[in-house]
Structure 1
Amino acid sequence: MPNTLTIGERVAWYRRRRGLSQEVLAGLVGRTADWLGKIENNRIEMDRLSVIKSLADVLDSHSATSSPNRPCSTGPPTAAPTPCPPYAPP
């Protein structure tokens, strides 16, 4: 993941890495897919720390909960899990 991504682009990157649709991720944080699309396309900003934390918890993208043994995506059932990269602030 390039270090030049905006927060919205990072959300989209981690969401795709986890294999989640916008609808699923938005539902997990109590928002709409329309809202998430606007966040990912930088049309609106995340204005609440609680929302940022909810997204980070669902995406497991911050270093406090990131674990090298926790798979990011499992791929085919016979493939080894791929660990997620740790979150690196811009």
Structure 2
Amino acid sequence: MTIVAFTLGLIGLALPVLPQLPFLITGFFGLSKVSPRFHHWITNTKVYKMLFGSLTTHCKQKKQEFEERGIKWYESLYLKMMSVIMVQD
């Protein structure tokens, strides 16, 4: 599917009737998931850094915040459950 979308995007560059942008985005996304080498190359380009650099760092920060909240929530829930178990005994 990835190769098909990427090929249709390339054909769309030559034929103005076929929309190329959705196919190219889908193809690049699929290829970056399949090939670590392609992912490394595409994420280190100037265009990618200009368009998605701040978004990438923002998403990483949000992911870290959610993980920290989840750990705190789990610890507080665990302590409450243990205190209830200890009181019942």
Alignment TM-score, normalising by the size of structure 1:
0.27
Larger radius of gyration: 2
More strand per residue: 1
More helix per residue: 2
